[in-house]
Structure 1
Amino acid sequence: MDQIANVYAPHGLHLVAGQWVDSPQRFESDPAEGQPHSFAVGTRYLVDAAAKAASAAFQTYSQTSARQRAAFLRSIADEIEARASAITQIGMQETGLPKARLEGERGRTVHQLRLFADHIQDGACFDRRHDHALPDRQPLPRPDIKMIQQPVGPVAVFGASNFPLAFSVAGGDTASALAAGCPVVVKGHSAHPGTGEIVADAISAAVVSTGMPKGVFSLIQGGKRDVGHALVQHPLIKAVGFTGSLSGGRALFNLCAARPDPIPFFGELGSVNPMFLLPNAARTNVESIAEGWASSLTMGAGQFCTNPGIAILPNEQLQTFADTTIKALSKVAPQTMLTSGIASDYHDRVDHVKHGDNVDAHLDETGVGRSVWPTLFSVKATDWIAQPTLSEEIFGPFGLIVTVESDEQMLDVAQNFVGQLTATMHLTDADLPLAKSLTPILQQKAGRILVNGFPTGVEVCDAMVHSGPYPASTNFGATSVGTLAIRRFLRPVCFQNMPDALLPADWQQDV
């Protein structure tokens, strides 16, 4: 591969344990611009080969030290940056995302890899515990007991449509699993197979340069549901990372639970990320909040899982808030959706809202094909509560205003939300009494609570939580962003009276 070429022509193959391999059938990509490319279609046979290679690699890779794995993660980051121009070029073609967005996402991806490398070298994530032997204790002596978190085994990762880098081939799930000591088999997303191919090549180069076992990483392109089902049901796969739709994620979750040996499914499935304008903030800051909301709604054509799709505010502020939002949204040019399927679903879902009971349309022209416009609707709280479908995620630049008549009704609306990734409160000091009643409700509903901000954009850091109660995610005790994400792919192992020579490499403090 020419790592600095301005034009990259994909070869369209799968990567299985260090080898680029073909398969009998091909599919064509559906780029936002430019010519489509041909890619090999995934098969159950390839899933089996990749899972077996991952299982064999686990015997070696799980015994590497954190220092060795950190070097591997840093090498992946370096190799991705060496292919920066090719990744940006084909990423723009496939997704329609602008250059700045892809460059920013690549920066987030390599930062994440390096952050995880630093984190595992620090060693705190392994949660080492040691209860020293008490041979003279009465009535019974205590043995020497040590505990440390250890990798769970080969992990399946599903690439996401909306993040071709940060949540795909070398994204958070892959980086987390590799940091933990788990080999990875990725099912690439068909929305950006060329981008995935280049990133897989970067990982493969890092495997070679750091001397890791070849089966530590594989990429299987394309394939229908049977390929994904085969991957999560393969007996050698021990955990799954997924970012995608509620329907697709729930189907895979059910398959993981129905296995003879059920495995954890860490799925991020959907969220409307409600934004509450408390009364005094709504009176004093309504225009600036509306302008910020419009910007957040349309960021990336509204295709962020943290898109704040619903705003809740006092009825008396509706007109000013709606007028300001309309003015801001009217300045937004048509945006290209990531795939034709996502665009079609956006048109259909907005049309459903338009015909809801007592729903008022402020902007309801969705656009044509993959080119979409922002849309805006409003509804009273009582009508919103009576129509549960109005609280479902619409992937795109869609906003719904829910108006309330009292503080008590705002709390009632909050209680009626299902699990969310985020929840936001806009408030002033005068709103603190209501906020103190609202906060405990939101803590039960969301994984991240914001004040006077907007949730689009997730900081990759130690304290970040990117999950929430179902259906935001299938495991609200975990996170898919931040260093805590590594813990998803570790399990505690206890060693009793174990000689030091037999302890894992990561037991030593100098890892």
Structure 2
Amino acid sequence: MAASVWSVDPRTGKRREQVAVEATAREVDEAVRAAHAARGALADRTVRAALLRTAADLLDEAGEHVIEAADAETALGPGRLTGELARTTFQLRSFAEVVDEGAFLDIAVDHADPAAKPAPRPDLRRYKVPLGVVAVYAASNFPLAFSVPGGDTASALAAGCPVVVKAHPDHPGTSELCVALLRRAAARAGLPEGVIGLVHGFEAGVELVKHPLVAAAGFTGSVRGGRALFDAAAARPRPIPFHGELGSLNPVVVTEAAAAERGEQIGVGLAGAITLGVGQFCVKPGLVLAPASAAGDRLVKALTEAVSDTDQGVLLDSRMRDAFVAGVAERAALPGVETPVTAGSGGQHTVSAGFLTVPAAALAAGGDHELLLDECFGPVTVVARYEDETQIGAVLAALPGNLTATVQLSAEECAGQDGRGARLLAELTPLAGRLLVNGWPTGVAVAPAQHHGGPYPASTSTSTSVGATAIERWLRPVAYQDTPPALLPPELRDDNPQRLPRRVNGRRAG
């Protein structure tokens, strides 16, 4: 008999209600086949845009109910979830605009040229087509923006790919509510409800990535879980793209000049970044390189005061809470590590924020201190105190890939007068997908220029999961050579009936 799926209140640890049952292999197959059958109905770009806009409208209309359901299952709070819902509907509408514009098709037309050198050129026309059914693995810490109606789903539908979501066990009720709204939007747009499917359960997630009709997958979660699915996707008889966001330390480098100029301000800002959302953001700064100087001491003092004033919070589930408490204790026990503010258990269901300090030389030496370079999910960070800039470089050289990397510079360094700022950015560029100067990485704007990804283990591909170009993950190029005009897709015909942007013979047109 299939196991029950329960909604649990993280504030009390008590079950709220049974929401569903874990999907069997047969039910996963049915969901994927229903999605696969809906591909043709998604081919019309006008219909896709209508689906996305209608989904946003329905989510807004049900906003109070959606936020209430999400808060009951995540304890993230109405304020945070109100903002997340706005982000989610903005993403859906933004991708509708991407679909309307059509530039994502990347259309190129090169007319035949018998006189071309070094050889005659045939008539070539290229654009991008959807891959097929996309499996989406929802994140725990964003029950809306990175879950059923989130960016992976929105970008896949925009590309013309039906979606089957593997619900996260921390918010099954919210997932069921959101998928019902998306299916209602599909019906209003004249699409079959199977264009968006939902399954529950660990084994269902494994069956999903292995299903022969699934053409690609998007994942946000842990390194362990994501790597297992990534390996399964690669081991298929026909491997598929797996776009996974797995983990990130998000290093911050504070220069001596920046600490001297505004160390207290940096300390307060850092406290806010590591405690925001009870430290459950994928871009939370987990490692800070700060000078071992009087200026650095002022930074640490301000950080201590600000973190000490932070209220205890509830993590998304008891498993994460236990891992956080154990992880902090293990790190605090390492030689040379101090705890100006002790993070850990704040009670039966809460945790307290804190931070650790360690000489940067110990981190550079490796050994047991390499544990400090692993992400610890929750409201804690490691401040590594460096004696000179060579220690900064040694620590950075030991880091894995990250979503973000931040430098805190002085006004003079920002002006580029001594080259220090440029050198630090050059050192950080190979480590991260987004570089920040004098800011904090928490908060990922949904914009065409955004990149949310990075070298492994931050992600398993070079793509972004946020912003307009996230759609590219679910597309592949196809070229037509010497194809009679009557047989060409409308997007590639010379008269360009859909008025789409394109490049013709190397020049922008349309």
Structure-2-length-normalised TM-score = 0.92
- Residues 434-455 of structure 1, C-alpha deviation per residue, up to 9 Å, x if partnerless? 2222111211000000000000
Per the alignment, residue 228 of structure 2 pairs with: 251
Amino acid of the structure 2 residue aligned with 1:94: E
Shift of 1:505: 4.9
1:204-223 mapped onto 2 (5 Å cutoff): 204-221=183-200, 223=201
Q: Distance in 2 between matches of 1:502 and 1:119?
A: 26
- The residue number in structure 1 matching 2:430 is 444
Identify which of 284, 302, 305 aligns with 1:324: 302
By how many angstroms is 1:116 displaced? 0.8
Q: 2: CA distance between counterparts of 1:437 and 1:25?
A: 55
CA distance in 2, matches of 1:29, 1:71: 32
**Matches of 1:322 and 1:428, distance apart in 2:** 17
1:497 to 474, 478, 482: 482
Q: Which residue matches 2:26?
A: 45
Q: Which residue of 1 aligns with 2:335?
A: 357
Alignment map for 1:77-88 (pairs within 5 Å): 77-88=56-67
Partner of 2:405: 423
Task: Tell me the distance in 2 between the aligned counterparts of 1:406 and 1:254.
Answer: 41
Matched-pair contact (CA < 8 Å) for 1:407–1:434:
no
Tell me if 1:132 matches 2:111: yes
Q: Distance in 2 between matches of 1:37 and 1:397?
A: 29
Q: Once the two structures are superposed, what CA deviation does each residue of 1:48-82 show, in whole Å capped at 9, x if it has no partner?
A: 11111122222342x322x3211111011011112
Match of 1:348 in 2: 326
The C-alpha deviation readout for 1:154-208, integer Å capped at 9, x for no partner, is 1000010000000000101101100001000000011011111111011001110
Contact 2:286-2:380 at 8 Å conserved across structures = yes
Match of 1:163 in 2: 142
The SS at the match of 1:412 is helix
Cα distance in 2 between the residues matched to 1:97 and 1:43? 31
AA aligned opposite 1:103: T
What do residues 91-131 of structure 1 show as CA deviations (whole Å, max 9, x unaligned)?
11111011011110000000001011111211111111010
User: 2:420 maps to what in 1?
Assistant: 434
Partner of 1:75: 54
Name the CA distance, whole Å, in 2 between partners of 1:307 and 1:465. 16
Q: Classify 1:211/1:259 alpha carbon distance in 2 versus 1 (closer, same or farther; 3 Å).
A: same
Structure 2 residue 498 is matched with structure 1 residue 479: no
CA RMSD of aligned residues (A): 1.6
Of 238, 243, 252, the match for 1:266: 243
Provide the residue aligned with 1:461 in structure 2: 447
> How many correspondences in the alignment?
484
Seq. identity, %:
41
Cα drift, residue 266 of structure 1:
0.3
Q: CA deviation at 1:412?
A: 2.1
8 Å contact kept, 1:156–1:231: yes
Letter in 2 for 1:53: A
- The aligned counterpart of 1:242 is 219
Distance in structure 1 (CA, Å) of the matches to 2:487 and 2:16: 53
Aligned to 1:102: 81
Deviations 1:321-380 (A, max 9, x none): 221111101111111111111111100110111111211111124123431100211001
Which residue type is aligned with residue 484 of structure 1? T
* 8 A Cα contact 1:64 1:505, kept in partner: no
> Shift in Å at residue 471 of structure 1?
0.6
- Shifted more, 150-159 versus 45-54: the winner is 45-54
Say which SS state the counterpart of residue 478 (structure 1) adopts: coil
Aligned: 1:397 with 2:379: yes
Asked if structure 1 preserves the Cα contact closer than 8 Å seen for 2:314 and 2:350, the reply is: yes
Equivalent position to 2:16, from 36, 47, 65: 36
5+ residue gaps in structure 1? 1-22
Q: Which portions of structure 1, spanning 4 or more consecutive aligned residues, are displaced by more than 6 angstroms? A: none
Bigger mean CA offset, 445-454 vs 28-37? 28-37
8 A contact 1:158–1:189 mirrored in 2? yes
CA contact (8 A) 2:260 2:296 kept: no
Q: Find the residue that maps to 2:16 and give its secondary structure.
A: coil
Query: 1:132-156, CA deviations, whole angstroms, 9 ceiling, x for partnerless residues?
Result: 1225658964321100011111100
For residues 237-288 of structure 1, the C-alpha deviation after alignment (integer angstroms, 9 at most, x for no partner) is: 0100000000000000001111111111100001111111011101111000
Q: Is the 8 A contact 1:344 1:369 kept in 2?
A: no
